[in-house]
Amino acid sequence: MESWMIRFLLAAVTFGVVPLFAAGPNPPMPSHGWLLIANKGDHTLGIIDPVEGKEVATVDEGGFTGHEVAASPDGRRAFVPIYGNSGVGKPGTDGATVAVIDLSTRKLVDTLELAKPLRPHCAVFGPENGLLYVTTELGDSVTVIDPKTLQIVGSVPTGQAESHMLAITRDGKRGYTANVGPGTVSVLDLERREKIALIPVSRETQRISLSIDDRWVFTADQTQPQLAVIDTAKNQVTQWIPLAGLGYGTAPTHDGKWLIVAEPPVGKVEVVDLKSMRVVHSISVPKAPQEVLVRPDDQVAYVSCDASKQVAAINLKTWNVDKLIDAGKSADGLAWASGH
């Protein structure tokens, strides 16, 4: 038996065949997907190959400006709310549509028309029901869309103006909006489609994210460099985390250990240890970092950098910028489309 085994292994080596029982542990597969980016200044959706580290295609949004993007759970389509050419609470055009882009053909394939100009901004898929939730600022609301039929199926009042960004719990039951000018966070019951609480934060706040266990909501004070930590059981700010500069986009790692915070005024990204709630790493990135997206494999955090037209790819093991990926003008919203 032993001589047969030796002869078999020698033949396998000779002819380049590796028997299954001789193979070691499989190496980890690379994280497959497209990184999507809203190039505000170019009115395009950029499609980035994260392995090659370059933008491989852009799709025109019809000559209008989208700030954020959401990818469908199957990775086939991207939804870009068309906000308009204004800033939050500032004069400018008022968007009234959501662009639908096919990621295989890389074409604008449909446009969802809202009832009126509402400045739609942040789009988030419900993790359980598959519905698409879009903040609609001028309606003080979140609009609920069936992405399959492209029909509006409901609305959730936020009770506040400038409801700009949205985060949804992992069970899909609660939503939290950052209301910029009022400086508040609205707590939404997404099943009953009603506002259930209002949390004061500051005179002005920006962006919002949830910890992986849904215990904490994070939003950045825009009057001083600190991050608000909201206890979701109490619906109140229970802690402040000092930052090097005014915070903006945030995102937790999927292992629940870290929160990545973009700080546009100082050109840095800081890393918060979610056990101690303290900043433990500071990373220099190109000017005006905006949004943070953590790749599903927890290996890389992507940070859009508005002024440099780039995306910084931060290695989450070394805490260094491994790549700078060229994107479009005023690079902003990010999304991950799985499955290519």
On whether the CB atoms of residues 48 and 293 are closer than 8 A, the answer is no
pLDDT higher than threshold 90 for residue 21: no
Domain range for 185:
32-338
Please indicate, yes or no, if residue 278 is contained in any of the structural domains: yes
Q: What is the pLDDT of residue 62?
A: 86
Give the pLDDT confidence of 270-287 residue by residue, as tens digits.
Answer: 999 999 999 999 999 999
Residue 248 to residue 289: CA distance in whole angstroms: 8
Q: What is the pLDDT of residue 32?
A: 82
- Look-up of token digits 């945030």: 250
pLDDT higher than threshold 80 for residue 309: yes
- Look-up of token digits 């209301």: 179
Mean pLDDT (whole number) for 71-96: 95
Q: How confident is the model at residue 63 (pLDDT cuts 50, 70, 90)?
A: confident
Please indicate, yes or no, if residue 171 is contained in any of the structural domains: yes
Please indicate, yes or no, if residue 21 is contained in any of the structural domains: no
CATH number (domain holding residue 95): 2.130.10.10
Q: What is the pLDDT of residue 30?
A: 39
Give the pLDDT confidence of 120-139 residue by residue, as tens digits.
Answer: 999 999 999 999 999 999 99
Q: What is the pLDDT of residue 339?
A: 75
Please indicate, yes or no, if residue 2 is contained in any of the structural domains: no
Please indicate, yes or no, if residue 255 is contained in any of the structural domains: yes
Residue 8, amino acid:
F
On whether the CB atoms of residues 75 and 340 are closer than 8 A, the answer is yes
pTM value is 0.90
The percentage of residues in the chain with a pLDDT greater than 70, rounded to a whole number, is: 91
pLDDT higher than threshold 50 for residue 269: yes
Q: Which of 256, 293, 250 is nearest to 273 (CA)?
A: 256
Q: Which of 263, 247, 333, 334 is nearest to 295 (CA)?
A: 334
Please indicate, yes or no, if residue 12 is contained in any of the structural domains: no
Torsion, CA 339, CA 57, CA 67, CA 323, rounded to 10:
80
pLDDT higher than threshold 90 for residue 7: no
Please indicate, yes or no, if residue 140 is contained in any of the structural domains: yes
Residue 162, amino acid:
E
On whether the CB atoms of residues 180 and 205 are closer than 8 A, the answer is yes
Q: What is the pLDDT of residue 31?
A: 54
Q: What is the 3-state secondary structure (H, E, C) of 163-198?
A: EEEEEECCCCCEEEEEECCCCEEEEEECCCCEEEEE
Which letter, b or e, does each residue of 161-182 get, where b requires 16 or more Cβ atoms within 10 Å of its Cβ? bbbbbbbbbeebbbbbbbbbbb
Give the pLDDT confidence of 287-306 residue by residue, as tens digits.
Answer: 999 999 999 999 999 999 99
Report the chain's terminal Cα–Cα distance, integer Å: 45
pLDDT higher than threshold 70 for residue 78: yes
Domains held by the chain: number: 1
Strands 44-49 and 33-39: antiparallel
Strands 236-242 and 250-252: unpaired
Residue 24 to residue 16: CA distance in whole angstroms: 16
Q: Which of 41, 61, 161, 157 is nearest to 112 (CA)?
A: 61
Please indicate, yes or no, if residue 27 is contained in any of the structural domains: no
If one compares 259 and 5, the residue with the highest pLDDT of the two is 259
